[in-house]
Amino acid sequence: MMINIPLRILLVEDEKTDVVLIKRNIYQVVEKPVIEVVNDFPDFESVFKNFLPDLVISDFSLPSGTGLDVLELIKSIDESIPLIFITGALDDDELAAETIVSGASGFILKKHMSYLDQKLEPLLKQVVYNMIQHDELRERIRKNKIAIHQIYGYLESMKADDKEQRDNIKKIKNNLNKFNIENAE
């Protein structure tokens, strides 16, 4: 059965052929996915903060950084966003267990790429189930977080000429941090 909720998916993958295969498999499971693709950790960081996906699918080995870096950034911004690793690097059972203990929602080995849709389907259905449970609240929080990140960016770009302006910028940042913490609870 197809998932008919338009999932926002951020795909972190540096191999173009794997991007094509993964996207094809997502389309077999999700009717109208919105998929953003980045190929390294620095790009992931900037896109993630503005796109705020429902789900991240990431390779474990990246040109700059690892899947655990991706996981750490996700958890620092929004713990509720699930991460699925699709990788050839997790042959090591200990490393696989570590990713799950660290908070990944699951992982799929690239050697199973030929039936990736069957592996993805139960994980994506769980994501959708969790989304439906928190849908309205989640959308308000997403909009608030995007606004907060935009305000932070604006504050960072401001050149404060005098002490009073610098103090005011600091006060705004502190208030935003309080707002962020209260909304996270």
- The DSSP secondary structure of 107-136, one letter per residue, reads EEEGGGGGGHHHHHHHHHHHHHHHHHHTHH
Q: Which has the higher per-residue pLDDT, 133 or 40?
A: 40
Averaged pLDDT for residues 72-93: 78
The answer, yes or no, to whether residue 142 has pLDDT greater than 80, is no
DSSP 3-state of 10? strand
Q: Residue 92: which pLDDT band, with cuts at 50, 70 and 90?
A: low
pLDDT of residue 159: 67
At residue 12 the predicted structure's pLDDT band, cuts being 50, 70 and 90, is very high
Scored b (16 or more CB within 10 A) or e, 134-161 reads eeeebeebbeebeebbeebeeeeeeeee
pLDDT in tens, 48-73: 988 889 899 998 888 888 888 898 89
C-alpha distances (whole Å) from 21 to each of 1, 24, 183 are 20, 5, 37
Asked whether the predicted pLDDT for residue 100 surpasses 70, the reply is no
124 neighbors 55 (Cβ within 8 angstroms): yes
Spatial distance between the Cα atoms of 33 and 22, rounded to a whole number of angstroms: 12
Contact 124, 8 (CB under 8 A): no
Q: Give the pLDDT score at 47.
A: 92
User: Which of the pair, 1 or 59, is modelled with greater confidence?
Assistant: 59
